[in-house]
A and B are shown apart, each in its own frame.
Chain A
Amino acid sequence: MAETIENSHSDEKPKPRVRPIVRFGIFLVSHSFLVSIVCFTSGVLALFLLPVLAKNTYISENALMPGSASPMLSNQHVSDGNRLVKDLTNSNLKSSETGIESHKIIAQYMLDVGAEVSFHKFHPQMNQFHPLHFFSSPDSGKIQENYSCSSYGINTVGIIRAPRGDGKEAIVLVTPYNALTSSFGEVLSLGIAYSVFSLLTQVTWLAKDIIWLVADSQFGEYAAVSAWLREYQTPKFSSMSALNAEMCPDINNLFEIEVHSMAGSKFSNSFRRAGTMTAALVLKVRDQSEQFDDTISIYAEASNGQMPNLDLINVVNYLAVHRQGLRVNVEKLWSFLNLGWLKSLGEIFESLANIAKSLNPKFKFGIPATEYVEGTAILASSLYYQALGVPTGPHGAFRDYQVDAITLEISPKFSLDKVWRNDIILRGGRLIEGVIRSVNNLLEKFHQSFFLYLLTSPSKFVSVGVYMIAFALLIAPLPMVAASLYVDSNSSSNCSKGDSSTPSAITDTDEHGITIRSWRWLNSAKLVFIVHLWGAIVSVLPYFICQIPDCSPTTSFMIWVLLSILSLLILNSVLASPFACVKASQEKEWALVKSVTISSVFIGLGLMSVINFATAEIGALLMVPMCLLARPLKLDVRAGTFRSCCRIICNLVLGHIAFPPAAFFLLKGMLDGFGSANVGGFWMWVESLWAWNSATYLFIVKATYLSWMSKADARYQRNIFNIHSKKG
């Protein structure tokens, strides 16, 4: 009875119903080589098409209404600003011992127009590398005891309360200012900010409080702003300030002087707060510029490739271009502008678009070649800075608290004489006023427009929906190749087993064998895990290295390399040795290792694309070809055909290029010339990365071990070969 049932089952088996999607999957897997080539090339092509596919920006939030109100900043406010500029430059000439004098002047000015003023003193917090703090929010800051009194900064904060507002929201205006080495640009930015500030104390339309932060930038702009923000967002209820004041009499002095000299009761010793921050603008004026126009540069990238809401950039761009007649710049990689092949690529796209247009006049997607090149340069810099994860200015500190912020850098046209100075204060001030008035109209946080985008010009952007396609195409081959490799290795082992074992043995060991074989990938996974572990160790090492005092970048880099190799050896001897006992044919084994590696890379890239798209994109560009081409050198050498030779060369080149230090040098060399590149430079770069808690750092180190993976595979295979040959 049972047999008949089995028979009937076996009768049904020959024609199983395979669903179309499964069949399609099988088809893709079986043709993975072709598919992966097609996908990868189209992915790269799609990346280069992004500037063409970029859309024009538009203001998505109705409430913003930029430019609907005429600016109210008049010449009187400009002369106010000018007065501050003059006073500050005079005070700098007089006494340059400390910045206290100029801070007092600024505070006095703020008080004069009726704002609340307070000083915020801070100790610059050294950026500490915490291996596990990559994605955690900034903590409230530990109190370091051993600061000397000399190393503190003073932020001057002025707050205008909205006369009829509810005081729940605030807009922040930041001007970095180093009182010790105050450049004229900084002073001028203070002048602009002050002219706006003096206007805003008079207007009746404020719905949000205005905070003007004069950030003491002697320890860096970012440090000052982030220290103030930390204090603002995470209040400490300790007696630290009192303690500090006791320790440092001169700070105390300053405050007392202020309290006595300033008649207004609006000065306060304690830390002052306004409402939740809606947006923040960092205003800078560049000292010299080679521009022929008055331009304004927008810096938007914050840590880990986060961007402020696109609406904020749109508002600034709209007001600058259409109201104040300023030219708007976004960062670009200048070296891209001179690339010949890029230009010709742009021309190809342009001519293609023209052909399409001639076929159907409705197709309008072409852009001129020069615009294409410029768009690519901006896109590349956008990708680069997002991938790096290092904020491009003090605005990055705001993004850590989910506040939309950008840095505006005004580059004036020519030398700063009187008339012209008034003009730049007027225009800059009106721009700031317009942005503030627009943001003031907001009812909610910025939420309407995009957060995930890449700029290709100040008024064009590529949204997440478009650029994800390029990325998806890039990494699409990975799961297919992994699957096909896995299937291949399994089937080949089946065949070999079938050949070698006698038919009688099959019935006995078949099921057992299948279970063993189906779990064999665990060995490979273990190997991959070990390499990952090594990568993790390598990534944590700098934390300990930087504890060593008095190390030049070069030596610390050397220590890092040495320690890394050492750890690899240790790991290999401790954990990897069991693999030597595995007696399996090498071809199958490497295929399995490769398949597991590729799937782990796929998962890693997929996750990374969610966290930081740009990093994942660049990582995918480097790693996907490497993963697909990787193959034990020994096998290729043995094969000796032309194809395998090519593959060897490709592997070696890719393996070296994708190794981060190598990639760094190559990029640096390409962009700046090879002279400036050295080993220490890489260390500095890496240091800057982990200083910013950049997730990219993790990723790069991961890339390191992944790039070594193929070689590790090869080496490992060679070991096995050696063992086998000895045995043989």
Chain B
Amino acid sequence: METFNNSKPVLVLLLLPCLLLYSLISFNSSSVEAAMHTNNWAVLVCTSRFWFNYRHMANTLSLYRTVKRLGIPDERIILMLADDMACNTRNKYPAQVFNNENHRLNLYGDNVEVDYRGYEVTVENFLRVLTGRHETAVPRSKRLLSDEGSHILLYMTGHGGDEFLKFQDSEELQSHDLADAVKQMKEKHRFKELLIMVDTCQAATLFNQLQSPGVLAIGSSMKGENSYSHHLDSDVGVSVVDRFTYYTLAFFERLNIYDNASLSSLFSSYNPSWLMSTAYYRKDLYKRNLEEVPVTNFFGSVMETIHTDAAYKALSRRNSGRFEAQMSLDSVHHAERRTLMKVNDQEETHDVNPEGNKQPLQGEEGASKCPWSTFCNKFRKGENVDSLVNYGLVTMIPLLVIPTWLVR
């Protein structure tokens, strides 16, 4: 009895850190999983200059048209075109760009918003867009204002090689750079899921260094393979589209905004004999089952409608938008902004949860008034370690008192 009683405090003391650890882990995971898919973004990049690379611009513009058709609004598309083919003097059809020799579809119509054009398309600007580290003067329309509920489509085309992609005929983006940028995005909660689609030679090598969760990558060709153009428009005098993009577009042309085609059906639609290269996709970082993910998750903007009882529940989400804006405008008060966002996030998840997410910690989360959760909040914020230690000490005191009292 004596011994048992004696061992009790020790046991409790041992249990305590375990408990703390558990809460920590569960909380972190909840913060990742909790964010719901709320918006869609697309970053479409054509990296190569010169008239004979007409097809790369046509690729990008076709993708632009497709994602727009499928519901991503213009302000959520960052379009980067390294050259201006439409106004190139060699263009037989001034101010028009075609991706097919039948010339049925002018990709460069009235409502094309090019965010980065010509020599603005650099590796630096590209990485700035991804990571959100802009100069203060950069307008909102040129920023990727995604949050942790965003699904982002990143499409790149140009000339590439083993673990690099050429920008502007003068610099290159290496796979390390890309992986680093994606990791930064992840750390800054700039996306929920990211689909990287690359149409270059040896595109698969560009994904080698990726390690952030939630990233799905597909490239037009394996290492050592070239990606080829689809056909030549003998009227314009250049190749107008690449094979990989052509068949991607062919897939999407059959779809409308309400279709439920899955990503796996897209990926399996690439026939190596048509592509003349092997499309490669990397899904080890992506947890969801590709059969269950509709393509519109990335290529369109289809939100699940959330039914709420009260009309004002959604207000908090609007608030979140406001905080976002604040965040992008003042990049100085980083930590402060983060906390704001966090608090907001939590509210948001709180709002969302009634709709029935599979969150294991829902109850715990929901009881936000409970001191335990405030503690957890404090802990997660990590604002000051001292207070944490103080809290720990304070909780220790009753624990110490109780066993001694029991023993006596």
Contact = CB atoms under 8 A, between A and B. Distances in A.
A437 B237 contact: yes
Q: Determine the main DSSP class of B at the interface with A.
A: loop
A440 B91 CA distance: 11
Interface stretch (A60-68, A84-92, A345-353, A656-664): A60-68
A65 B90 CA distance: 13
Chain B contact patch, size range: 10 to 19
Contacts of B224: none
A207 B90 contact: yes
B52 A441 contact: yes
Contacts of A709: none
Contacts of B3: none
A62 to B, nearest CB: 5
Q: Which of B52, B93, B234, B239 has the most chain A CB within a 10 Å cutoff?
A: B52
Contacts of B237: 65, 68-69, 205, 437, 441
Given A62-B52, A63-B51, A443-B51, A68 B234 contact: yes
A155 to B, nearest CB: 28
Nearest to A440: B90
Contacts of A440: 90
Given A205-B90, A205-B92, A441-B90, A70 B50 contact: no
B88 to A, nearest CB: 8
Interface centre among A68, A166, A207 (most CB of B within 10 A): A68
Nearest to A437: B237
Dominant secondary structure at the A interface: loop
Nearest to A62: B52
A448 to B, nearest CB: 13
A69 B51 CA distance: 13
A165 B234 contact: no
Interface string B227-264: 00000101111110000000000000000000000000
Contacts of A165: 89
Contacts, number: 48
Contact of A69 (B50, B87, B88, B235): B235
Contacts of A204: 91-94
B369 to A, nearest CB: 67
A164 interface: yes
A162 interface: yes
A164 B236 contact: no
Nearest to A205: B92
B230 to A, nearest CB: 14
On chain A, which size bracket covers the interface? 20 to 34
A277 interface: no
Please indicate which of the listed interface residues B89, B92, B238 has the most CB atoms of chain A within 10 Å of its own CB. B89
Interface string A610-632: 00000000000000000000000
A206 interface: yes
B105 to A, nearest CB: 20
Interface in B355-406: none
Interface string B170-196: 000000000000000000000000000
B50 A206 contact: no
A666 B91 CA distance: 57
A65 B50 CA distance: 12
Nearest to A162: B89
A63 B169 CA distance: 13
B235 to A, nearest CB: 7
Interface in B77-98: 87-94
A437 B89 CA distance: 12
B234 A441 contact: no
Interface string B88-112: 1111111000000000000000000
A441 B238 CA distance: 10
A204 B238 CA distance: 15
A620 to B, nearest CB: 42
B174 to A, nearest CB: 23
A205 B90 CA distance: 4
Contacts of A63: 50-52
Interface string A155-181: 000000011111000000000000000
Given A70-B234, A70-B235, A65 B52 contact: yes
A203 interface: yes
Nearest to B236: A69
Contacts of A443: 50-51
Interface string A436-474: 010011010000000000000000000000000000000
Contacts of B51: 63, 441, 443
A164 B89 contact: yes
B89 A207 contact: yes
Given A63-B52, A164-B94, A443-B51, A206 B234 contact: no
Contacts of B232: 68
Contacts of B52: 62-63, 65, 441
A207 to B, nearest CB: 4
Nearest to B232: A68
A204 B93 CA distance: 7
Contacts of B91: 204-205
Most buried by B among A63, A70, A164, A205: A205
Interface string A471-509: 000000000000000000000000000000000000000
Contacts of B89: 162-166, 205-207
A199 to B, nearest CB: 13
B238 A65 contact: yes
Q: Pick the most buried of B50, B91, B93, B237: most chain A CB atoms within 10 A of its CB.
A: B237
A585 B86 CA distance: 84
Contacts of B238: 65, 68
Interface string B42-65: 000000001110000000000000
A370 B171 CA distance: 49
A308 to B, nearest CB: 21
B92 A203 contact: yes
Nearest to B92: A205
Nearest to A65: B52
A69 B87 CA distance: 18
A445 B294 CA distance: 50
B20 to A, nearest CB: 62
B393 to A, nearest CB: 71
Contacts of B94: 164, 204
A67 to B, nearest CB: 9
Of the listed residues B51, B87, B239, the one surrounded by the most CB atoms of chain A closer than 10 A to its CB is: B51
Contacts of A162: 89
A165 B87 CA distance: 10
B51 to A, nearest CB: 6
Nearest to A204: B92
A203 B234 CA distance: 15
Contacts of A164: 87, 89, 94
Interface string A59-81: 00011010011100000000000
B96 to A, nearest CB: 11
Contacts of B88: 207
Nearest to A438: B237
A165 B51 CA distance: 14
Query: Which of A69, A162, A206, A207 counts the most B-chain CB atoms under 10 A from its CB?
Result: A69
Contacts of A441: 51-52, 90, 237
A169 to B, nearest CB: 10
A60 to B, nearest CB: 13
A206 B88 CA distance: 10
Interface in B19-54: 50-52
Interface of B: 50-52, 87-94, 232, 234-239
Given A68-B234, A164-B94, A204-B94, 18 more contacts: A62-B52, A63-B50, A65-B237, A65-B238, A68-B239, A69-B234, A69-B235, A69-B237, A70-B234, A162-B89, A165-B89, A204-B92, A204-B93, A207-B90, A441-B51, A441-B90, A443-B50, A443-B51
15 contacts: A62-B50, A65-B52, A65-B238, A69-B235, A69-B236, A69-B237, A162-B89, A204-B91, A205-B92, A205-B237, A206-B89, A207-B90, A440-B90, A441-B90, A443-B50
Closest 8 CB pairs of A and B: A69-B237, A207-B89, A70-B234, A164-B89, A205-B92, A165-B89, A207-B90, A68-B237
